[in-house]
């Protein structure tokens, strides 16, 4: 096979993994912008999405669309509960202690998931079959199309929400200046709660649409979370195009690296990029020094 | 919720039984290190279950030479540091006469210097050839060497006149040991590895590696890993429309793999212990009796089928029992008796230890099976 055909496949594979990283990365960015904390439990929310979908599809035998919606709703509820129980009660906590709390929370969620769903890996049926689709010389699965479509939809909805609704605008105000937002009558704590709800639903969506491809288990959240975090950092923690591009770039570089250099360095590539960005362009690859964050 | 409660009770019970061990007079203390939780829990959990089940049975029948066995299990969570700590604790505080485990090659390599130094026999349940090669005085193992599995696949490739292969191995202890064996044995069978790639244990997409393989001269793909990676690879192979025959290692010879890979599992060939095909073995097979006994027993106790991972612990307990019966009291006597083990049919194969061989199995310990219609079929 020609090298160019191989590269086409690497690009397609990379973009589909990248779309997932982008969705997870957005979750990080949205919470960061309204609270200034990095929610390291984001990966666990992704895992919960997949696990709830498994529960609704395989045990309750709900039809697929209903199962997906129920899984998103359940995970969103879990995200809200997480905020209520761990972030809200702390009155004058520094961002650092909140970040540490989210790490603790992630371990707790993982532990509970292990007890409830067991330690095995579980498979979820694909949304619409597993017959590969040929695009030029590259092949993808119908599930990949679902990933692209739902990611695009989620990003578009996000954009609309933040630009054209009062609540979305209020959240953006919090991102710019929390104190000032509070002074003009925006309920900052409510906005923080919303940010957790939105992040949880984005994360769970990522977890659900990726589960038929990658399977799911109680500990998938760690790596997916870290990759999403990388995507957000590349995008300068912007809850918009930056993070999306960051995710896609990360996915493509990983895939090209694994194919052309060595598969052994696949994860290393992601973390080398992360370090380089933090050293050289801490404001993100696409950001100006002062950037609009939402 | 029921499952949660059961798990909670179980955890409490294990902790209790592990910490409160009252040494009754006339008991034989055996230690066990299994990764009951953590990533290799698919090994450690059935191993722990099996070891407990068998020890209970031995005790119910009056113990060994009138002495009851006391099994002390520590969970190593797949962590080599924890395994070493637990091994020291077993030897120094619990004063065990022998140790079964650990579950993984990495942990075993970390623990074996401890066993050598403290002079306590250790029967590892991991597959890595390097555990007993070169031979260490106090270390034995029950899991089939991965070198034997490699030889079984290569023999088949020779028969099919396939000489160029691609290998894709997981980047953990199991995978790198398999990779080494695949490379070392290739020349002996006249096989050339044209593509050598790896994947991470938590990777979720291997299309990049497989695309590279598709572009190479390979006539077959051999994948070496444990769930879920290989299931992912089976799916990716199907997605990319690769028509090359796909081989897997014995690391995936459980029903779980077929469940995870779904339709993509069809046609895959792998070497496996006889456990999964115990019911279709000819009755002349020497292992059939112990295999069926083990599978039924496990089913009765734990409501799921016994797999060959549990079998490694079954073999370890059985070999120890045999050694103690033959007059092993102190650790060094047990070691000497273990080394004299001859012709004992267990779950993994027929064991023959000698001063130059502490792995004890030949390549006949493996059979080649193919996945057909979501079940195993023997490859003739």
Comparison of pLDDT for B5 and A212, the residue scoring more: A212
| A123–B42 CB contact, under 8 Å | no
Comparison of pLDDT for B380 and A228, the residue scoring more: A228
Whole-angstrom distance between the N-terminal and C-terminal Cα of chain B?
Answer: 46
**Pairing between strand B139-141 and A133-135?**
unpaired
CB atoms within 10 A of CB A3: 10
With respect to residue A2, please indicate whether it lies within any of the assigned structural domains.
no
Q: Which of A263, A264, A267, A271 to mutate to test the interface with B (most CBs of B within 10 A)?
A: A263
At A5-14, the pLDDT tens digits run 888 889 998 9
In this predicted structure, what is the pLDDT of residue B157?
A: 96
Do you know the residue count of chain A? 294
Instruction: Work out the percent of chain B whose per-residue pLDDT is above 70.
Output: 93
List the Cα angle B140/B146/B147 in 5-degree steps: 100
Helix (H) or strand (E) holding B98: strand B98-100
With respect to residue A10, please indicate whether it lies within any of the assigned structural domains.
no
Query: Is a pLDDT exceeding 50 seen at residue A99?
Result: yes
With respect to residue A44, please indicate whether it lies within any of the assigned structural domains.
yes
At A219-272, the pLDDT tens digits run 899 989 999 999 999 988 887 888 999 999 999 999 998 888 877 787 888 888
CA distances from B358 to A275, B83, B123, B142, B184 (A): 46, 21, 9, 9, 20
Which of B8, B171, B256 lies closest to A264 in CB terms? B171
Q: Which tokens belong to A34?
A: 């309204």
CA distances from A134 to A69, A112, B207 (A): 30, 41, 14
| B207–A13 CB contact, under 8 Å | yes
Which of A5, A141, A259 lies closest to B208 in CB terms? A259
The listed range with the strongest mean pLDDT (B35-49, B88-102, B267-281) is B88-102
Please, what is the average pLDDT of chain B? 88
At B11-53, the pLDDT tens digits run 555 544 444 444 455 799 999 999 998 778 888 999 999 999 9
With respect to residue A91, please indicate whether it lies within any of the assigned structural domains.
yes
pTM, rounded to two decimals: 0.79
Could you tell me the pLDDT band of residue A18, with boundaries at 50, 70 and 90? very high
Query: Is a pLDDT exceeding 60 seen at residue B4?
Result: no
CA distances from A271 to A206, A238, A255, B341 (A): 21, 19, 14, 50
In this predicted structure, what is the pLDDT of residue A278?
A: 86
The DSSP symbol for B145 reads P
CA distances from A193 to A83, A101, A167, A291, B360 (A): 6, 16, 12, 24, 61
In this predicted structure, what is the pLDDT of residue B120?
A: 96
Q: How many angstroms separate the CA atoms of B37 and B44, rounded?
A: 7
Containing domain of residue A173, as a range? 26-219
At B119-157, the pLDDT tens digits run 999 999 998 888 998 999 999 999 988 889 999 999 999
Helix (H/G/I), strand (E/B), else coil: A96: helix
Residues B105-121 have a mean pLDDT of 94
Q: How many angstroms separate the CA atoms of A232 and A236, rounded?
A: 6
With respect to residue A272, please indicate whether it lies within any of the assigned structural domains.
no
Could you tell me the pLDDT band of residue B5, with boundaries at 50, 70 and 90? low
In this predicted structure, what is the pLDDT of residue A251?
A: 93
At B366-376, the pLDDT tens digits run 999 999 998 89
Q: How many angstroms separate the CA atoms of B170 and B225, rounded?
A: 5
In this predicted structure, what is the pLDDT of residue B284?
A: 84
ipTM confidence score: 0.79
Q: Which of B3, B205, B234, B254 to mutate to test the interface with A (most CBs of A within 10 A)?
A: B205
| A window 201-260, beta carbon within 8 A of B | 210, 213-215, 217, 219-220, 222-224, 254-256, 258-259
Using CB atoms within 10 A of its CB, is residue A2 exposed (0-12), middle (13-18) or buried (19+)? Answer: exposed
Query: Is a pLDDT exceeding 50 seen at residue A163?
Result: yes
In this predicted structure, what is the pLDDT of residue B19?
A: 45
Q: Which residues of B touch A256 (CB under 8 A)?
A: 208
With respect to residue A206, please indicate whether it lies within any of the assigned structural domains.
yes
Cis peptide before B370, with omega less than 30 degrees from 0?
no
Domains of chain B: 2-144+289-362 (3.40.50.2300), 146-272 (3.40.50.2300)
Helix (H) or strand (E) holding A150: helix A142-164
Alpha carbon of A36: minimum distance to chain B alpha carbons (Å): 30
Alpha carbon of A104: minimum distance to chain B alpha carbons (Å): 18
Among the ranges given (A240-249, B7-16, B201-210, B294-303), the one the predictor scored with the smallest mean pLDDT: B7-16
In this predicted structure, what is the pLDDT of residue B23?
A: 45
With respect to residue A101, please indicate whether it lies within any of the assigned structural domains.
yes
Helix (H/G/I), strand (E/B), else coil: A69: helix
The DSSP symbol for B67 reads B
Please indicate if any CB of chain B lies within 8 Å of the CB of A126: no
Among the ranges given (A91-95, B80-84, B170-174, B324-328), the one the predictor scored with the smallest mean pLDDT: A91-95
Total domains, chain A? 1
Q: How many angstroms separate the CA atoms of B259 and B45, rounded?
A: 19
With respect to residue A17, please indicate whether it lies within any of the assigned structural domains.
no
Alpha carbon of A210: minimum distance to chain B alpha carbons (Å): 9
- Point out which residues pair with A216 in neighbouring strands: A122
Nearest residue to A35 (alpha-carbon basis) of A107, A95, A100, A113: A95
φ, ψ dihedrals at A195, nearest 5°: -65, -35
* Residues in CB range of B374: below 8 A, 6 or more apart: B258, B265, B266
| B238–A266 CB contact, under 8 Å | no
Q: Which tokens belong to B2?
A: 């029921």
Q: How many angstroms separate the CA atoms of A52 and A71, rounded?
A: 5
Please indicate if any CB of chain B lies within 8 Å of the CB of A283: no
């Amino acid at each position: 096979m020609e090298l160019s055909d191989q590269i086409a496949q690497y690009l397609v594979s990379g973009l589909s993994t990248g779309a997932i990283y982008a969705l997870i990365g957005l979750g990080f960015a949205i919470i960061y912008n309204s609270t200034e904390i990095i929610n390291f439990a984001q990966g666990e929310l992704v895992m919960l999405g997949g696990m709830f979908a498994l529960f609704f599809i395989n045990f309750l035998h709900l039809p697929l669309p209903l199962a997906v919606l129920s899984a998103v709703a359940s995970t969103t509820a879990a995200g809200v509960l997480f905020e209520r129980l761990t972030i809200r009660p702390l009155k004058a906590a520094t961002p650092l202690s909140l970040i540490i709390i989210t790490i603790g929370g992630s371990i707790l969620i993982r532990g509970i998931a292990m007890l409830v769903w067991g330690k095995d890996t579980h498979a979820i049926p694909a949304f619409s079959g597993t017959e590969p689709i040929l695009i030029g010389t590259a092949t993808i699965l119908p599930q990949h199309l679902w990933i692209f479509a739902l990611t695009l939809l989620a990003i578009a909805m996000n954009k609309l929400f933040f630009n054209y609704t009062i609540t979305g605008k209020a959240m953006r105000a919090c991102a710019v200046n929390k104190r000032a937002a509070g002074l003009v009558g925006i309920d900052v704590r409510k906005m923080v709660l919303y940010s957790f709800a939105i992040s949880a639903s984005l994360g769970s969506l990522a977890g659900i649409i990726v589960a038929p491809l990658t399977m799911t288990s109680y500990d998938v959240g760690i790596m997916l979370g870290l990759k999403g975090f990388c995507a957000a950092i590349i995008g300068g923690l912007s809850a918009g195009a930056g993070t999306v591009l960051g995710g896609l770039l990360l996915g493509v570089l990983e895939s090209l690296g694994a194919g052309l250099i060595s598969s052994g360095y696949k994860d290393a590539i992601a973390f080398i990029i992360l370090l380089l960005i933090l050293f050289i362009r801490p404001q993100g690859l696409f950001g100006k020094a002062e950037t609009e964050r939402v | 919720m029921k499952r949660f409660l059961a798990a909670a009770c179980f955890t409490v019970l294990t902790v209790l039984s592990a910490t409160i061990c009252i040494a009754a007079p006339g008991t034989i203390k055996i230690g066990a290190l299994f990764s009951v939780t953590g990533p290799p829990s698919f090994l450690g959990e059935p191993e722990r279950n099996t070891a407990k089940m068998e020890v209970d049975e031995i005790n119910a029948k009056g113990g060994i030479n009138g002495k009851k066995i006391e099994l002390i299990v520590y969970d190593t969570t797949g962590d080599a540091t924890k395994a070493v700590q637990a091994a020291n604790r077993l030897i120094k505080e619990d004063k065990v006469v022998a140790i079964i485990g650990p579950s993984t090659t990495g942990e075993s390599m970390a623990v074996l210097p401890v066993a050598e130094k403290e002079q306590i026999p250790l029967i590892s349940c991991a597959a890595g050839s390097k555990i007993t090669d070169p031979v260490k005085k106090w270390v034995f193992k029950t899991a089939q060497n991965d070198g034997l599995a490699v030889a079984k696949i290569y023999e088949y490739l020779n028969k099919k006149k396939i000489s160029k292969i691609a290998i894709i191995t997981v980047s953990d202890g199991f995978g790198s040991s398999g990779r080494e064996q695949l490379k070392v044995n290739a020349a002996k069978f006249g096989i050339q590895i044209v593509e050598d790639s790896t994947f991470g244990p938590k990777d979720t997409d291997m299309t990049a590696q497989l695309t590279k393989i598709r572009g190479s001269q390979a006539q077959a793909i051999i994948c070496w890993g444990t769930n879920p990676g290989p299931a992912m690879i089976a799916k990716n192979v199907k997605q990319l429309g690769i028509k090359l025959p796909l081989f897997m290692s014995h690391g995936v010879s459980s029903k779980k793999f077929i469940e995870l890979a779904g339709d993509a599992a069809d046609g895959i060939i792998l070497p496996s212990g006889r456990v999964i095909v115990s019911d279709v073995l000819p009755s002349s097979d020497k292992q059939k009796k112990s295999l069926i006994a083990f599978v039924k027993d496990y089913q009765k106790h734990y409501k799921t089928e016994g797999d060959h991972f549990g079998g490694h612990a079954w073999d370890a307990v059985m070999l120890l029992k045999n050694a103690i019966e033959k007059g092993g009291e102190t650790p060094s006597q047990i070691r000497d008796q273990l080394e004299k083990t001859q012709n004992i049919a267990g779950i993994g194969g027929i064991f023959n230890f000698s001063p130059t061989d502490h792995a004890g199995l030949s390549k006949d310990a493996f059979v080649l099976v193919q996945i057909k219609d979501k079940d195993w079929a023997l490859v003739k």
